[in-house]
Chain A
Amino acid sequence: MPNWQELVRERLSGLALNPAEREEVHAELAAHLEESYEALVKKGVNQQAAVQRALSQVSNWQDLGRRIQAARTKENIMNDRVRQLWLPGFVTFLLSTSLLALFEVFGAEPPVLVKVGQLPTVMFFIPWLLSLPLVGALGAYLSHRAGGTQRAIFSSILFPVLPFLASILLVLPVSLIFDRFIGHNVAPISLVMALPGWVLAPGVALIAGGLPIQFLRSRRLDTRRTASS
C-alpha cells in the first residue's frame, strides 16, 4: 500500500496555506484516498488497479489545490452574516449619522425640546427623524436581498440606534457608580432622558420604514411560492 500522505503532499505541494493547515488538508485527503483504496481492494480489485482508481478521483491536482485554497482562505468569503447583517447595518448607521450631521450643519430648524417637570430636557431632531424611515427601509431591503432571516432584517433596520443604546447602557452604570465622586459626571437621569430622543423615537421611525419593506418583500416571495406550488 502506498504512503498516501506522501503521495498527496507531492501532488499538492503548492498549496499556499499555513504549514499546520496544509498538513491537515494533506492528512484528510490521504485518509480519504486510503479508504477508497481499501474499499476497492475489499471488492476484489487488485492493489495496483485500486491505487489507480483511488487516484483517478482527482483529474487535475493543481486545480484541486487552487479550489481548496480559495475555499479555505477566509478573505475570499464574505459570509452570510456579513452580507445579511453587518453590511446593511453599517450602511444604515453611516447614512443615519451622516444625515444627522447634515441636518445639524445645514438644517435651519433647531431640535424640538421637551421639558417634563424638573427632569432634564429631551431633544428631538425632527428632520432627522423624518428621514429615518428611508434609512430603515434601505436596511430591510439590503438584508432581505442578501437572504437575511427575519431577525437579521429586523437588526439591520434598528442597527443605527444600537450604538446609541449601547453607549447609554454602558455609561449609565459608570455614571451611577461615580456620580457622587466626580464633579462633572454625566447625571444618570440625563442618560435615561436621552433614550426617547436618541433611541426610542429613531427606533420607531426606522421600523416605520423598514417593516413595510420587509412585509412587502416577504409577501412577494409568498406569492411567488404560491404561484409555483
Chain B
Amino acid sequence: MSALARLWDSDIAYSFRTSPVAIVAAAVSVVMILAAVLAPWIAPYNPFDPGSLNLMDGFTPPGQPNAFTGNTYVLGTDNQGRDILSTILYGARISLFVGFSAVLFAMVLGIGLGLLAGWRGGWVDSLLMRIADVQLSFPSILIALLIFGVARGFIPAGMREQVAIWVLIVAIGLSDWVQYARVVRGATMVEKGKEYVQAARVIGVHPARIVLRHILPNVMGPVLVIATIGLALAIIAEATLSFLGVGVPPTQPSLGTLIRIGQQYLFSGEWWILLFPSIALLVLALSVNLLGDWLRDALNPRLR
C-alpha cells in the first residue's frame, strides 16, 4: 500500500468523523477559503477599485446610514470609505494567497534541500544543516525583514509595488523552510538505510525515482502537518510584517494590513474597523491551526 493511500485510509476518515473540533474547523476553513477565493463574485463592492470609492462614505458605523451620503453597510466602512465586509473578503484573499504561496515555496525548498541533504550526506548534509541551524535560531521576522530590504534594492523603482506581494511570499517562505528540510532529511536517512532502497540502488534504479516513489510518500504526513500549521503562521507573519511597515500596498490590503490600520482606531470609537478584520483573522488562523492539531494526532500511528 502506498503512503499516499495510507494517508487517506479509513483510520483517518474515522478519526475525522469522530472529532467535532476537526469537523467544525474544517468546515470553517473551507467556507472562509471559498469566500476569499470567490470574493470578486460574492463581495458587495470591489474595495480594490479606487475609482468606486467615495471618501465621504468613510467611518460609516455598521448597519447605520452614513451622515453625509446616507449609504448603509453591514459591517461599516473604514477610513477610505471601503466596505469592511468586502475588504475583509478581498483581504482574506490576499492573506491566503500569501500564506499558501509562502508555504508552498517553503515546502518545495525544504523538501528539496532535505532530500538532498539526507540522500547525499557528507559535506552537503553538513553545510545544509548548518545553514538550517543558523536560520532556525535567527529570528524569522528579522530574516523576512532583511529579505524584503534586499529585494527592494534589486527591484527597479517602478516595479516594486507590483512585486511586493511576491517579495513577501519569498521572505516568509525563506524564513520557514528549515522545518520541512529537517523532517525530510531525517526520514530520508532512515529510508536510505533500508534494504529495499539498497536493493533498488544495486539494481540501478535512478535515485530520483527511489526518492520520488519510496521516500517522499513516507514523509508526506509530517510535511502536511507542518504545512497546515505553517499556513496559519504565514498569515500571522504577514500581519506582523505589515505592522513593521513591510508588506502589501495599502490600496490592496491584506487582513494583516487591515488590522494594522484598524488598531489606530482602538481609542477613537470606530471599533468596527479593528474588530471585524481581527475576528476574521482569528477565526481563519484558529481553524487552520485546529485542523493542523487534529491532523498531527490523526497521522501519528501510535496515537490511534
The answer on A and B forming one complex is: no
Chain B interface (Cβ < 8 Å from any Cβ of A):
none
